[in-house]
Amino acid sequence: MKRVTLPAYAKLNLTLDILRKREDGYHDMQMIMQSVELHDDVTVAMTESGEVVCHCGDIPGDESNLAVKAARAFFDATGIVPGGLVIDIEKRIPAQAGMAGGSSDAAATLRALRKLLRPDMLGEELEHIGARVGSDVPYCLRGGTALAEGRGERLTSLRPAPPFHVLLCKPEFDIPTPALFARVRVSELWGRPDTAGMLAAIHRGDADGVAARIKNVFESVLPPEFAGVFDIKARMRQLGAEAVAMTGSGPTVFGLFRDYALVRDAYIILAEEHERTYLTQFV
């Protein structure tokens, strides 16, 4: 049986800005994305069952799963007729966390299928397939540090951001992304990131400049019932984080540290207060 196992890395939004609402109902975004070491493991195995099967812990493995959608999109785009496929996902990235866990699993599925069936396929072609699955999938295929524009599918790779240790904490609630977008009035947004300044700081390798420009405009539209995001941000500041922000549409909060001993102690303390707390780093 042919099989391959690949990591599916979580992502952070070092910056997230919403520029305008488009005629198609979507929003034009401008985001600087960063991969972190926290990852799922995705195993793709070819079978003779004639079916695409996905095992993903407590997450449904049906046609709503982005990894299954990615497999279908790959076969549609290439014209390959599979004998059968099993996708096994060992989850570590929390679901509905703003860290692109599902998109990263889809990206790993696409990379695995390319390795198994189409090793000659260019990365640009694979990203084009990924864009059919979800807006974050092209970035998750590329990874690293990148500027994402449009719905997130237009990518510009950047030099690697200065290294940071990362403390992650997902509160005890989820934030529905469509509901958050519904609250967006572009002209009324505040707390916009300095994207140009962040790009320049990354180009210089300026860790202080990066930390000073971490910002997510979605925080300006969070309803009161999600104020726990700000409580966690304040707690991370108390514990020594140089920068804190919500990632994506939340609710996960991340804090950046350069001192490993400090972030390790902060992790121990915060993990006693919130179950879904993680210690990771930029990759």
3-class SS letters over 45-79: EECCCCCEEEECCCCCCCCCCHHHHHHHHHHHHHC
The residue written with tokens 């790993």 in the block is 108
CATH topology of domain 165-281: Alpha-Beta Plaits (3.30.70)
Selecting among 17, 40, 105, 136, the annotated active-site residue is 136
Q: Tokens for 47, please give them.
A: 């079978």
The pLDDT tens digits for 97-120 are: 999 999 999 999 999 999 999 999
C-alpha torsion 62→25→198→237, nearest 10 = -60
pLDDT at 1: 62
Q: Do domains 3-157 and 165-281 have the same CATH topology?
A: no
Q: Which residue ranges make up each domain of the chain?
A: 3-157, 165-281
How would residue 137 be classed by pLDDT, with cut points 50, 70 and 90? very high
| Model pLDDT for residues 158-215, shown as the tens digit of each residue | 999 999 999 999 999 999 999 899 999 999 999 999 999 999 999 999 999 999 999 9
By the 10 Å C-beta count (0-12 exposed, 13-18 middle, 19+ buried), 275 is classed as exposed
Q: Please report the pLDDT score of residue 157 as a whole number.
A: 98
238: which residues sit within 8 A by CB, 6+ positions away?
none
> Which pLDDT value is given to residue 50?
84
Does the pLDDT at position 268 exceed 90?
Answer: yes
Cα(159)–Cα(161) distance, rounded to whole angstroms? 6
pLDDT the model gives residue 110: 98
- For residue 174, indicate whether it is catalytic: no
In this structure, what token pair is assigned to residue 20?
């305008």
The single-letter DSSP state of residue 205 is T
**266: enclosing H helix or E strand:** helix 260-273
Which residue out of 11, 69, 170, 215 is catalytically annotated?
11
- For 3-157, CATH gives 3.30.230.10
Say if CB 282 and CB 32 are below 8 A apart.
no
pLDDT tens digits along 143-161: 999 999 999 999 999 999 9
**% of the chain residues with pLDDT over 70:** 100
Predicted structure pTM score: 0.95
271 C-beta neighbours (distance < 10 Å), count: 15
**CB neighbour class for 161 (10 Å; exposed up to 12, middle 13-18, buried from 19):** buried
Report how far residue 243's alpha carbon sits from residue 157's, in angstroms, rounded to the nearest whole number: 23
136 counts as catalytic? yes
Q: What is the mean pLDDT of the chain?
A: 96
Q: Which of 50-54, 74-78, 202-206, 253-257 has the lowest mean pLDDT?
A: 50-54
**Span 79-83, average pLDDT:** 88
Characterize the bridge pairing of strands 85-90 and 277-281. Answer: unpaired
Q: What are the DSSP calls for 103-154, one per residue?
A: HHHHHHHHHHHHHHH-TT--HHHHHHHHHHH-TTHHHHHH-SEEEEEETTTE
pLDDT at 81 exceeding the cut of 90? no
